[in-house]
Amino acid sequence: MALAIIRTRAGLGLEAPEVLVEVHLSNGLPGLTLVGLPETAVRESRERVRSALLNAGFDFPTTRRITVNMAPADLPKEGGRFDLPIALGILVASEQIPVAALDGLECLGELALDGRLRPVTGVLPAALAAKAAGRGLLLPETNADEAALAGELTVWPAAHLGAVVAHLLDQAPLAAHRASPPPLPETPSADLADVRGQHQARRALEVAAAGGHNLLFAGPPGTGKTMLASRLPGILPPLSPDEALEVAAIRSVCGMDLLDEWGRRPFRSPHHTASGVALVGGGSRPRPGEISLAHQGVLFLDELPQFDRSVLEVMREPLESGQIHIARASHQRRFPARFQLVAAMNPCPCGHLGDPRQACVCTPAQVQRYQARLSGPLLDRIDLQVEVPALPPDQLTANTRGESSAVVRQRVLAARERQRQRGHLNAQLPGPELETACALPDAERAWLADVLTRLKLSARAYHRVLRVALTLADLAGEARPGRGQLMEAIGYRQLDRLRGGPEQSPV
């Protein structure tokens, strides 16, 4: 047979579209030609495949013209994942393997020059696509555990090209890899009970977890802002199996380990020198950024005003939509980015505005410039803005512990169950449904309108206040928010009310 067709998968962001590797042997000037929009690493597979076939003991048709087409032709092909399909296509076309041996199979893998199979990235999306197509997957054994996360999928792992061919010829069948995904973790790695004092900040953390709200901690250095932020994943509900697969698929595309963090809410903390591409994703070949790696988890931005303003502004759309759309001249990618933003900042450049332990040395103009690095539209999207003051020594040395993460998580789960019945988390509840769920009496609505006018809050901030108040009502087990919940929700907009110079209260 002079023509062979092998099924494999490309890697385009979180998608794994099917690619048909068509190999044709014909008379003519000997050589191997690759067509079908291959990039550099794919074009270099000609030499890897040739050496791998010869060193593994197979015949390479040096006297024939070999044409390899990867269809569809307009789909970009990247990486070394096409080495194994090309090699098997040559073996089938040269009748060293029967064509029927690859029925119902897809394959991918990079070849070493001696025929060994090397792992590739983005295996989990390919495994999920192969499962949806009802086919098995033949791949390097190093990727077997990752592919097995897809569930009901027959995975055939191999270490060498020779083992693959022996399996296809029924000489030495490979053992199917059917490992079950590891169990989802039950206990958080960091406990909220370790936090001393900071009752308002702890309360805000619980509200953020219950309603999916974004959160900003502001206070002097060393008051526990980072410690509080790191406790948020521990009080969030556990990931569902489908959510765990979404998180794992993003890590797979980035070439990161999956099993050690399987089932855990992501907690990403990029440095303030991170670029816009590092934060939201991109590049000449778009890859997920930090906001996508934080999908279904927490993105913590410490020293928030130190981030470049243009970098922070690119997060405004993902904070609303839960996804990031990256457009390039030749292609586009869409990555999920449904994360909770937790940020921390000092109240002023020196960090000691309002700190009883040390006097602030900043001028009013310096404080104003520092706080003005955060735009109003970005702050509008942060529902909870909370002061984290310095604690007196007696609270730091007290031998009392607060509520554990497990106790707080139970209240969070109960509040989220009420939101599940509405169909949305409160932070994502559409405007009309939000008004219906709150159903404020005329007196409460007039009072709230007066407060919003005096505080000069935007329409977006108004809806954010309602969402937080609704979450407070859910935590209290009440049907709709009352005056008390509205007052507490407005109290969490501290940065809106307190931006200014050193003569004001610290933010």
pLDDT tens per residue across span 255-299: 898 887 888 899 999 999 999 899 999 877 788 999 999 999 999
Q: Provide the pLDDT for residue 503.
A: 37
pLDDT at 142 over 80: yes
In tens, the pLDDT along 474-486 reads 999 998 999 999 9
| pLDDT of 318 | 92
Segment 3-57, tens digit of pLDDT: 999 999 999 889 999 999 999 999 888 889 999 988 888 899 999 999 999 999 9
Stretch 193-206: mean pLDDT, rounded?
A: 90
Query: At a CB cut-off of 8 Å and minimum separation 6, what does 4 contact?
Result: 22, 23, 88, 89, 90, 91, 92, 93, 99
Say if residues 211 and 474 touch (Cβ distance below 8 Å). Answer: yes
Q: Where in the chain is the domain with CATH 3.40.50.300?
A: 192-420
Burial per residue of 394-412, b for 16 or more beta-carbon CB atoms within 10 angstroms, e otherwise = eeeeeeeebbebeebbebb
Q: Is 417 exposed, middle or buried (0-12, 13-18, 19+ CB in 10 A)?
A: exposed
What is the average per-residue pLDDT within 122-140?
Answer: 95
Could you give the angle at which helices 241-253 and 123-133 cross, rounded to 10 degrees?
130
Q: 340: which 2 tokens?
A: 């909770």
What percent of the chain has a predicted confidence (pLDDT) above 70? 95
In angstroms, rounded to a whole number, what is the distance separating the alpha carbons of residues 482 and 444?
8
- In the chain, residues under CATH classification 3.30.230.10 are 3-168
Alpha helices in 14-72 (DSSP H): 40-43, 45-55
Return the closest-CA partner of residue 292 out of 248, 258, 259: 248
Topology of the domain covering 192-420: Rossmann fold (3.40.50)
Cα(84)–Cα(161) distance, rounded to whole angstroms? 8
Instruction: Please state, in angstroms and rounded to a whole number, the distance separating the CA atoms of residues 397 and 228.
Output: 18
3-state secondary structure at position 137: strand
- Give the DSSP H or E segment for 54: helix 45-55
Which of 56-60, 76-80, 311-315 tops mean pLDDT? Answer: 56-60
Helices (H), 281-336: 290-293, 309-313, 316-321
Length of the chain: 507
Distance CA 110, CA 116 (A): 8
- The Cα 345–Cα 349 span in angstroms is 10
The rounded distance, in Å, linking the Cα atoms of 116 and 161 is 6
pLDDT of residue 507: 37
The one-character DSSP state at 160 is B
Cα 478 from chain centroid?
33
Written out in words, the top-level CATH class of the domain with range 3-168 is alpha beta
Q: What is the pLDDT of residue 12?
A: 87
- In three-state secondary structure terms, 345 is strand
Decide the pairing of beta strands 136-140 and 155-158: parallel
Determine the average pLDDT of the residues in 398-423: 90
In this structure, the strands spanning 105-107 and 110-111 are: unpaired
Q: Residue 505 above 60 pLDDT?
A: no
- Cross-strand partners of 117: 111
Inter-helix orientation angle 83-93/45-55, to 10°: 60
Q: What whole-number distance in Å separates Cα of residue 205 and Cα of residue 405?
A: 11
pLDDT at 498 over 70: no
Contact 64, 86 (CB under 8 A): no
What is the β-pairing status of strands 298-301 and 340-345?
Answer: parallel
Q: Is it the case that residue 90 has pLDDT exceeding 90?
A: yes
- Rounded Cα–Cα distance for residues 149 and 110 (Å): 21
Quick check: 437 and 429 in contact, CB under 8 A? yes
**Burial zone of 199 (CB within 10 Å; 0-12 exposed, 13-18 middle, 19+ buried):** exposed
Cα end-to-end distance, the chain, whole Å: 75
User: What gap in Å lies between CA 69 and CA 60, rounded to an integer?
Assistant: 18
Residue 134, phi-psi category: left (phi > 0), alpha (psi -120 to 50), beta (remainder)? left
Report whether pLDDT(378) > 60. yes
| Mean per-residue pLDDT of the chain | 89
Q: How confident is the model at residue 358 (pLDDT cuts 50, 70, 90)?
A: confident
CA–CA separation, 202 vs 207, rounded Å?
9
| Calpha distance 227→57 (Å, rounded) | 58
Q: In this predicted model, which residue has the larger pLDDT, 189 or 211?
A: 211
pLDDT at 167 over 90: yes
Residue entry with tokens 């970098």: 311
pLDDT bin (cut points 50, 70, 90) of residue 185 is low
